[in-house]
């Protein structure tokens, strides 16, 4: 029996997002040792994470549009080369400003070439099991947190933070660049069949999609969702250390969140195929907001594991649903650019949490206000997601191609 190549695309998506995003998100493990050795403030180092996501927000739309035009293989290959370069050069930085540019801007811009283009390509390959396929690609983000955090911690303990970051950059080159050559766009016959079954509107332009109220609702929901969970994710390890948890055990708390995130993606993907993406998204966002609030009362290692499991399941479960919703509303032809635009809003949200958490910690001596604010923003995401209209209402509201002639 011949293997459907769409599953190869899924496997490549898992690998490149695991290594690429895991490398970028490993900064949460580097935070404490870098601050201790270099004398840089937590806010200063967290600013690199802010720049990561700002650069991703700029890059996500551009990479998505480039993948629509030139193919995802070229985009992933270019991003892999740039990502490894950013990590390797950041490991040699001697000033905080230099580190913020190298790790923040270059690594962030490169990371934007992986998730959105691979996700949009995956949706083009599948008509059945589309949500599950997208969830599996998104699971690469969870694997990245699960495996890269302990690896980074071990490398730091064995060598130092500079050598650890250098070796992670080399790993990116060794894995992402070869994997990119396995990426293919689907044959035109398959893409046409998928478009027909999905009821796509072939005359819909990117400009039309971006002007719809539904696009605004999806983008604002994704923004609020990411603004809510980015701070607690980034400061998860350091918060545990502040409560007396050892550095290695705190890194495993981050891994538990990553494993739970993987299970959330699979479970929510299966549920969404049956119950609908919107309903699943609203429930997942509610669980996320509640889980963040529980950090206010967590002090022991067992509690950190439990909350990390609940929190990881929630934020992992909701992430792939945005791509499915975008695909349902705006179709296959402009999926790369449209989902890239939604991802731009999401990465702006992701940019806020790390630096806000560092600022609140430096100002108040604890992360309590970070968790209060993040939980409130999470509830705001629930409210916005509840306003989503059925896709057919968006189709009716759009001008027909003939009306524009």
Query: DSSP 3-state helix, strand, coil percentages of the chain (rounded to 5)?
Result: 85, 0, 15
What's the rounded Cα separation, in Å, for the pair 25 and 168?
Answer: 12
Regarding pTM above 0.75, the answer is no
pLDDT of residue 32: 83
Burial pattern 327-350, b for ≥16 Cβ within 10 A else e, equals: bbbbbbbbbbbbbbbbbbbbbbbb
DSSP string, 49-70: HHHHHHHHHHHHHHHHHHHHHH
Calculate the alpha carbon distances from 96 to 39, 43, 56, 331 in Å. Answer: 10, 11, 20, 43
Q: What distance, in Å, lies between the first and last C-alpha atoms of the chain? A: 48
Q: How confident is the model at residue 302 (pLDDT cuts 50, 70, 90)?
A: very high
Residue 47 has, within 13 A of its CA and on its CB side, a CA count of: 14
| Of the listed ranges 40-54, 92-106, 198-212, the one predicted with least confidence | 198-212
187: alpha, beta or left, given left = phi > 0 and alpha = psi -120 to 50? Answer: beta
pLDDT on residue 335: 67
Full set of structural domains in the chain with CATH: 9-390 (1.20.1250.20)
Query: Cα separation of 152 and 300, whole Å?
Result: 23
Packed helices 115-125 and 301-330: angle between N→C axes, nearest 10 degrees: 60
Condensed to tens digits (0 to 9), the pLDDT of residues 363-403 reads 888 899 999 999 999 999 999 999 887 655 555 444 443 33
- Say what the pLDDT of residue 316 is: 87
Banded pLDDT at 262 (limits 50, 70, 90): confident
Average pLDDT along the chain: 83
The C-alpha atoms of residue 35 and residue 82 are separated, in whole angstroms, by 26
Distance of CA 353 to the CA centre of its chain: 13
Which pLDDT belongs to residue 145?
A: 67
């Amino acid at each position: 029996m011949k293997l459907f190549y769409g599953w190869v695309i899924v496997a490549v998506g898992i690998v490149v997002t695991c290594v690429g995003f895991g490398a970028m998100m490993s900064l949460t493990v580097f935070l404490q040792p870098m601050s201790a050795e270099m004398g840089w403030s937590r806010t200063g180092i967290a600013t690199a994470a802010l720049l990561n996501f700002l650069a991703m927000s700029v890059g996500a739309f551009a990479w998505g549009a480039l993948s629509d035009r030139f193919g995802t293989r070229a985009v992933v290959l270019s991003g892999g080369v740039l990502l490894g370069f950013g990590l390797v050069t950041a490991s040699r930085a001697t000033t905080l400003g230099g580190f913020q540019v190298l790790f923040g801007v270059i690594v962030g811009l490169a990371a934007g070439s992986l998730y959105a283009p691979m996700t949009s390509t995956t949706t083009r390959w599948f008509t059945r099991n589309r949500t599950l396929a997208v969830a599996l690609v998104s699971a690469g983000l969870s694997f990245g947190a699960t495996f890269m955090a302990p690896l980074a911690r071990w490398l730091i303990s064995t060598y130092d933070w500079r050598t650890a970051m250098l070796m992670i950059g080399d790993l990116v080159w060794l894995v992402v660049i070869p994997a990119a050559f396995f990426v293919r766009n689907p044959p035109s016959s398959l893409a046409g069949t998928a478009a027909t079954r999905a009821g796509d509107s072939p005359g819909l332009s990117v400009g039309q999609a971006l002007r719809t109220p539904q696009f605004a609702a999806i983008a604002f929901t994704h923004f609020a969702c990411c603004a809510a969970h980015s701070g607690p994710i980034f400061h998860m390890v350091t918060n545990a250390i502040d409560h007396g948890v050892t550095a290695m055990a705190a890194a495993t708390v981050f891994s538990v969140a990553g494993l739970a995130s993987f299970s959330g993606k699979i479970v929510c993907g299966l549920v969404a195929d049956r119950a609908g993406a919107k309903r699943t998204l609203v429930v997942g966002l509610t669980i996320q907001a509640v889980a963040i609030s529980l950090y206010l009362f967590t002090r022991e290692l067992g509690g950190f594991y439990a909350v990390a499991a609940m929190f990881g399941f929630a934020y992992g479960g909701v992430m792939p649903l945005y791509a499915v919703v975008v695909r349902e509303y705006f179709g296959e032809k402009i999926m790369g650019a449209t989902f890239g635009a939604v991802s731009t809003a999401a990465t702006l949200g992701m940019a806020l949490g790390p630096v806000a958490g560092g600022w609140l910690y430096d100002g108040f001596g604890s992360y309590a206000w970070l968790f209060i604010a993040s939980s409130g923003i999470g509830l705001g995401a629930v409210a916005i997601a509840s306003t989503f209209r059925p896709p057919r209402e968006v189709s009716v509201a759009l001008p027909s191609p003939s009306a524009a002639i």
